[in-house]
Chain A
Amino acid sequence: SQQGEEDPQALSIQEGENATMNCSYKTSINNLQWYRQNSGRGLVHLILIRSNEREKHSGRLRVTLDTSKKSSSLLITASRAADTASYFCATAKSSGTYKYIFGTGTRLKVLA
């Protein structure tokens, strides 16, 4: 079974609103990463948060990590139509194998 599970599976919001998606995972991790995928394309890295970090920002993105709950959230503020994409979390176990497992993803649709 997959290491990460995102929710919601799909999210539809209006332009300018904030979008929040969550990722839960099963084992102790070294780091957690978020990726974006536009339809039919390869994934693009958004942000990486290490297991000893609790929050990280990058532009309009804010990621939190709660290792006690084995969960992370990705917040996109002031969303734009161009943010429409699928978002995935990926984790690697803390044993240092770099064996990255992805979640099932959240499909975000931002309406103009």
Chain B
Amino acid sequence: DAGITQSPRHKVTETGTPVTLRCHQTENHRYMYWYRQDPGHGLRLIHYSYGVKDTDKGEVSDGYSVSRSKTEDFLLTLESATSSQTSVYFCATISPLQGGELFFGEGSRLTVL
């Protein structure tokens, strides 16, 4: 267990508003990830980070930005939320030196009306 906490766990917002989801980890893992999960699509990688201030795009990065100013926090921002971004968002971390398995948070359910 990498002590991953996602906040908020549930959020309802309106189209066009900015939204920020936070992922906090307590294990000092170097890599952090944001995925979204939608029916029929499994998990799709949005962005990931390989260190403080080091991030890279995933499969579905359009409309999302991320920031990592501290090892323990990885923020996902929707600058102007759209209904297509209604989804469940999962944060994950990995420590390659400790086996390479991903540890997941419990998810954040976002509804954009």
Residue positions of A touching B, CB distance < 8 A: 1-2, 6, 31, 33, 35, 40-45, 48, 88, 90, 97-105
Contact = CB atoms under 8 A, between A and B. Distances in A.
B103 interface: yes
Interface string B58-96: 110000000000000000000000000000001010101
> Which secondary structure characterizes the binding site on chain B?
strand
Interface of A, helix, strand, loop or mixed by DSSP: loop
Q: Contact residue range for chain B?
A: 20 to 34
A104 to B, nearest CB: 4
B42 A105 contact: yes
Contacts of A42: 90, 104-107
Interface of B: 31, 33, 35, 40-45, 48, 50, 56, 58-59, 90, 92, 94, 96, 99-107
A45 B59 contact: no
Contacts of B45: 99-102
B101 A99 contact: no
B99 A48 contact: yes
B107 A99 contact: no
B35 A31 contact: no
B42 A43 contact: no
A57 B48 CA distance: 30
Nearest to B50: A98
Given A2-B59, A42-B90, A102 B101 contact: no
Contact of B101 (A40, A45, A103, A105): A45
Contacts of B44: 2, 102
B16 to A, nearest CB: 28
B42 A48 contact: no
